[in-house]
Amino acid sequence: MKNNLKVYRAMRDLTQEELAKELDVTRQTIIAIEKEKYDPSIILAFKIARFFKVQIEDIFIYPED
């Protein structure tokens, strides 16, 4: 799923490791999400959105058919 996680992370000047620690996930998961190879669970998606103080739709872009 397309996402703007890298952009938001850059806006906050965070490394992948720092973000992973904040979200209680591994660094590889952050990498995988940014590479659009892994879609997080709804709980993790909410956690990410809450962390950046935005809506889920601002970070994750639902593919339109």
Residues that bind other proteins (CB under 8 A): 20-21, 24-26, 28-29, 31-33, 35, 37-38, 40-41, 44
Q: Tell me how far, at minimum, the Cβ of 34 lies from other proteins, in Å.
A: 9
Tokens of 30: 């952050």
Q: Tell me how far, at minimum, the Cβ of 45 lies from other proteins, in Å.
A: 11
**Residue in the block written with tokens 């965070």:** 14
Nearer to other proteins, 12 or 35 (CB): 35
The span from the CA of 57 to the CA of 22, in Å, is 20
Q: How far is CA 16 from CA 36, 39, 61, in A?
A: 15, 16, 20
Q: Tell me how far, at minimum, the Cβ of 1 lies from other proteins, in Å.
A: 12
